[in-house]
Amino acid sequence: MMHLEDVPEEYDGVLDCASLAICCSFNRRGSLLAVGCNDGRVVIWDFLTRGIAKYINAHANHPVCSINWSRNGHRLVTASLDNTVAIWHVLSAQCVMRWKFPSPVLKAQFNPRNDKLILVCLVKHAPLLIEVNYEQSTIVQKVLPIDKEDNDINIVAAFDRRGQYIYTGNTKGRLAIINCPKAFNIEELTIEQKEQNTDFQIISSFRIQGTGSNPAAIKEI
């Protein structure tokens, strides 16, 4: 439970990257902050010194709408409205792999325990689970299962913190938990709710659900 005394009364500082920040993500240790900007750049800040550690020209002149670290902090995955997802080697700022999709990409997330699995959410398409072979520079992708009676494909999705489950939700209020202990060995369970799902994140055994009718709803899983 968060108390008012846990919330700072004023901000601690400002990180100015000379561009409009769209998204951001801390590495696992909290020492580095990666910021995706509206001009397609990724700026990596050393959060201890508050200085810029590295620039990455990720998506030329297209906003970076999603950014996520691998568990070991060696890689970043970025997504953009230019319909592409890219994996970056943080130390060298080199692009490891890049793929183009049929629609803009809203989100890309590494599996928290396996950086060979990436969850991708597209506009007007079902989410994809992508298995990456770094040695051969190839991928295998699997469309996440959707109820045959459900024609709404505006879906958001997220891994749980252990990477064992994928939580999905759509604008009609349908929630699903997909068990994914191995790549593409999937089993679906559904939970019906009334709220319209716009986005959510998994923290421990609780799910923070963004809804159309309320700012946020926290539900125990």
Q: Give pLDDT tens digits for 19-33.
A: 789 999 999 999 999
pTM to 2 decimals? 0.77
Cβ atoms of residues 105 and 81 within 8 Å: yes
Residue 217 has pLDDT above 90, yes or no: no
Q: What is the pLDDT of residue 210?
A: 55
Domain assignment of residue 192, given as a range: 145-221
* DSSP one-letter string for 37-91: ETTSEEEEEETTTTEEEEEEE-STTS-EEEEEE-TTSSEEEEEETTSEEEEEETT
Give the residue with greater pLDDT, 81 vs 155. 81
Tens-place pLDDT, residues 121-171: 998 888 899 999 999 989 998 888 766 556 666 678 899 888 888 888 877
Residues 157 and 120 in one domain: no
Residues 181 and 205 in one domain: yes
**∠ CA(182), CA(187), CA(190), 5° rounding?**
135
Residues 19 and 98 in one domain: yes
**Total domain count for the chain?**
2
CA distance 67 to 42: 9
Residues 152 and 112 in one domain: no
Q: What is the pLDDT of residue 171?
A: 74
> What's 22's domain CATH number?
2.130.10.10
